[in-house]
Amino acid sequence: MPILRRLPLRDDTFRVLLTGFGPFSHYEENPSWLAVKPLHNTILCMDSPSDPIVLDDQVVMSENGLGRTKRLIHISSLKIPVTYEAVLDVVPGLHARPPILPASEGPSFPPPPETPYDFIFHIGVAGRGPLRMERLGHKLGYHMKDATGKLASVVRSSPKDFSRRADDPLAAENIERERLGMDIVESGGDSIMRPTRGFGTAYENFPDEISTDIDVTRLVQSLRQSGIEQIYTSMDAGHYLCDFIYYCSLAEAKRSAKPYEKRKNTQVLFLHCPPVNQPLSTEEVTEAIKLIVVWICRELQLAEESSDGASGRG
């Protein structure tokens, strides 16, 4: 049996935060949380992303498994309630310097890094089908009630939003309801004014769409070559809580970025997973998440090495 030891974090360890959602609708346990929970407080090796070992909530590794020269990745997993209020309360703090974790997590949660997280990876559930790697988040158009029955804030009015009754959702909303296994809402037929909902105060200067800085197309190609075939890219994160947290996180990453710093700002990505075994198991989704995390951190390392090389030539 290999010798196990506690593994202290080194200064060059990549710090990654995963988020999954809490229960809502008919999901007593959200499939996204089931997929990220096993990776909480674990360490991956850049060169060998094998299964981490956790004993009594303490990260340990085989003496034979890791050389001291190998770059490591520490992962924390955080559950987010399926509410607009929770996203706005929690996500800005995750991008603070240093990051601020929800008070509800308590002292047992791994302390955040002194600098921003290197990568914040959000995962949420969609309908039956492959994994969906989302390219961008939307600022407006959030007309579906969250898990507590509340709507996103009214932020501005636009003539294009006044063509339907409040109880007559846009076609895109019914598509998202179908994806999530929620009831489809029938059109009422009449037309009354319907205000725009989404991000308002503190987000006025951000555009209506924000794209991730990550090369999603190349990432998906790499995953397919690694054997993760059931995955594709998407431009529609759904205008619900998944889209909402993605836009919020992308905006906050830009807000916290310091252009004069050599390090890149926090990388942000969103992945939609299917319900359990429709068709992917929780274990298969977790494995895909691990491969994505390692791929992103390798890209960050290459960017660091390129920057160091350019500085050396100067």
Q: What is the pLDDT of residues 125-143, one digit of tens each?
A: 999 999 999 999 999 999 9
Cα 129 from chain centroid (whole Å): 19
180 is a domain residue: no
CATH of the domain at 275: 3.40.630.20
Domain count, the chain: 1
261 is a domain residue: yes
| Average pLDDT over the chain, rounded to an integer | 83
Burial 274-298 (b: 16+ CB within 10 A, else e): bbbeeebebebbbbbbbbbbbbbbb
306 pLDDT band, cuts 50/70/90, is confident
What is the C-alpha separation between 260 and 265, in angstroms, rounded?
11
66 is a domain residue: yes
**Sheet bearing 53-55, strands edge to edge:** 4-6, 58-62, 53-55
Q: What are 191's two structure tokens?
A: 């037309």
Angle between helices 282-313 and 216-225 (to 10 degrees): 120
The confidence score (pLDDT) of residue 174 equals: 57
Three-state secondary structure of 251-302? HHHHHHCCCCCCCCCCEEEEEEECCCCCCCCHHHHHHHHHHHHHHHHHHHHH
The confidence score (pLDDT) of residue 69 equals: 52
86 pLDDT band, cuts 50/70/90, is very high
79 is a domain residue: yes
156 is a domain residue: no
Domain that holds residue 93: 4-148+200-309
Give the pLDDT confidence of 6-38 residue by residue, as tens digits. 456 778 899 999 999 999 988 999 999 999 999
183 is a domain residue: no
93 is a domain residue: yes
What is the C-alpha separation between 38 and 226, in angstroms, rounded?
21
24 is a domain residue: yes
